Structure 1
Amino acid sequence: MKVIRATVILLFSVMLGFIGTITVTKAQQEQTNELKIEKLFNGKEGTMVLKNLKKDKVYMYNKERSSKRFTPESTFKVPNALIGLQTSAVWDEYEVKRWDGVVREFESWNRDHSLASAMRESAIWFYQDMARDIGETRMQEKIRMLRYGNQDITGGIDSFWLDSSLKISALEQINFIERLVEEELPFEEKYQITVKRMMIQDEQDDYTLHGKTGTRLSDFGLGWYVGFIETKKDTWVFAVNINGSGTEAKNVTLETLKQMDVIEKGK
């Protein structure tokens, strides 16, 4: 009976988490402001969701696509790093894994990496190795706790996020990043702070940009850029996906932030 009761409680908790995600998504969709940035996508299909956390305002381009799920590709390095730290698969952002000597697609991958440097260079092999150390049982448990996308890791412990079974929408990415910003994820606060620090890509006097790109390397037909930007006045979270590369998604994000006067146009 205890086993049955525990199972029922677990299933009910997962259902509540899933329902909660849907409720937030619908509320955001009903209160959105349209982003007129079609030209920035250069004729390619894509979407952007941008949220001002201080004012609780949501801006969106291509609302229909914003709720459509796609594989997260290397943007999954953000939750993967959190899970790795929480489960002690790595001790801190400085822990190094030795390069195995296999020559991969990008020269910057072909060396030893730490958790932080592998995030910056998007070195997939490091995070694949860490995922194997985490293991399927712990990985599935933590992804359910995070309510991350469709929570499906059946595509293989070291590849489920790469053009495989795990999928997430731009709106769900926004929800995840917002909870990370507020340090409200069900993980230790110190690990959330560490991962946010690892995501820093640009520090200026008037803003700090935290982000992670993702690209489907098989055909460069899907690109992501997700993260947040802190200014002196506000914090904005963003998620962009495009039928292109992660670099294109990042460029759309930066140009939109300039149009919205979040970043000065000259920078």
Structure 2
Amino acid sequence: MKKRKMPAVFLALIGAAGLLFTTSVQPISEASAAEKNLNIKKLDVDEFFADHNGTFILRDMNKGKTFIYNHERANQRFAPQSTFKVPNALIGLQVGAVEDEYSIKYWDGVKREIDIWNQDHTLGSGMRHSVVWYYQAMARDIGESRMKEWIEKISYGNQDISGGIDQFWLSSTLKISPIEQADFMERLYKENLPFDKDVMKTVKRMMIQEEEDHSTLYGKTGSGTGIGWFFGFVKIDNRAYSFVTNIDGTGAEAKNITMDILKKYKLY
């Protein structure tokens, strides 16, 4: 696809509005990244959005610094799509709609578009393979009153679940901005959400995508109506960064963009 020229990126440092760093980032090893605090002076991510309109947020959760590409979109609310599996799992575990990550729901025999969905699943495999029917069934088990209570407790986006107990997050009434997703990821990583600690640890464990010697990547994709998400956090030794990518595209494309950025800056 032919690349179109994009406007120059400007990046804001939350808490220090107007400050713009221009020093280049020098490649460093993953092992030394934590020691040097990655020394990121500038994020240049134009190249990764040449074919997609989108936003990217990276937050240093140790130092409280946030870098944003495309502020306008970062503050715009979108349906969370399958990224909602993360709060859905937290709520389901907290209220006892499921017992643990190994809780099985049995396939109803209805053939769905993704082959791996057409079998029994657990809470964990449902997260890994983004099995919509499993999490819809769990949402029904949670019920509207308990779901609404917990969505309000965690201040999740616009908190509107009026679109139906098993549909409201799928291109429906619930909307959340990328910056709100970044806040949610930080609270989950730090276990500052109003859930039991073991519940948050279980969901974080289910979010693990990849593990290396010095780093672990946690994340979840989401796709629907032309919008793609990938959010999560990466832990490198004693450093931790949350991230959110939201694009006009698919969740798989959002994940690819995220991984390319993280690798460019030696964050994974």
TM range, smaller chain: 0.7 to 0.9
- Which of 47, 68, 83 is the equivalent residue of 1:39? 47
- Matches of 1:257 and 1:92 in 2, distance apart? 31
- Matches of 2:138 and 2:172 in 1, distance apart? 18
Q: Deviations over 1:211-235 (max 9, x none)?
A: 000000xx4x100001000011410
2:171 aligned residue: 163
Paired letter, 2:234: I
User: Normalising to structure 2: TM-score of the pair?
Assistant: 0.85
Q: Quote the RMSD (CA, aligned, Å).
A: 1.6
Task: Using the TM superposition, give the Cα deviation of residue 29 of structure 1 relative to its aligned residue in structure 2, in angstroms.
Answer: 8.4
Paired letter, 2:197: E
What 5-or-longer segments of structure 2 have no aligned partner?
A: 1-12, 21-41
In the alignment, structure 1 residue 122 sits paired with structure 2 residue 130: yes
1:152 aligned residue: 160
User: Normalising to structure 1: TM-score of the pair?
Assistant: 0.85
In the alignment, structure 1 residue 106 sits paired with structure 2 residue 111: no
In the alignment, structure 1 residue 206 sits paired with structure 2 residue 214: yes
Q: Secondary structure at the match of 1:131?
A: helix
1:178 aligned residue: 186
2:27 aligned residue: none
Assess, with a 3 A threshold, how the Cα gap between structure 1 residues 232 and 222 changes in structure 2: closer, same or farther: same
Percent identity, please: 52
What 5-or-longer segments of structure 1 have no aligned partner?
A: 1-25
Q: Deviations over 1:55-80 (max 9, x none)?
A: 22211110111010000000000000
Q: Secondary structure at the match of 2:192?
A: coil
Q: Which has the higher contact order (CA 8 A, sep 6+)?
A: 2
1:135 aligned residue: 143
1:257 aligned residue: 262
Aligned residues of 2:14 and 2:66 also touching (Cα < 8 A):
no
Q: Secondary structure at the match of 1:128?
A: helix
Aligned residues of 1:50 and 1:58 also touching (Cα < 8 A):
yes
- The structure that is helix-richer by fraction is 1
Assess, with a 3 A threshold, how the Cα gap between structure 1 residues 31 and 135 changes in structure 2: closer, same or farther: farther
Paired letter, 2:250: S
Aligned pair count reads 235
- Which of 86, 90, 94 is the equivalent residue of 1:82? 90
Q: Deviations over 1:14-70 (max 9, x none)?
A: xxxxxxxxxxxx956837766321221232210011001112221111011101000
Task: Using the TM superposition, give the Cα deviation of residue 189 of structure 1 relative to its aligned residue in structure 2, in angstroms.
Answer: 0.6
In the alignment, structure 1 residue 243 sits paired with structure 2 residue 243: no
Aligned residues of 1:46 and 1:62 also touching (Cα < 8 A):
yes
- Which of 226, 233, 238 is the equivalent residue of 1:228? 233
1:17 aligned residue: none
Q: Secondary structure at the match of 1:30?
A: coil
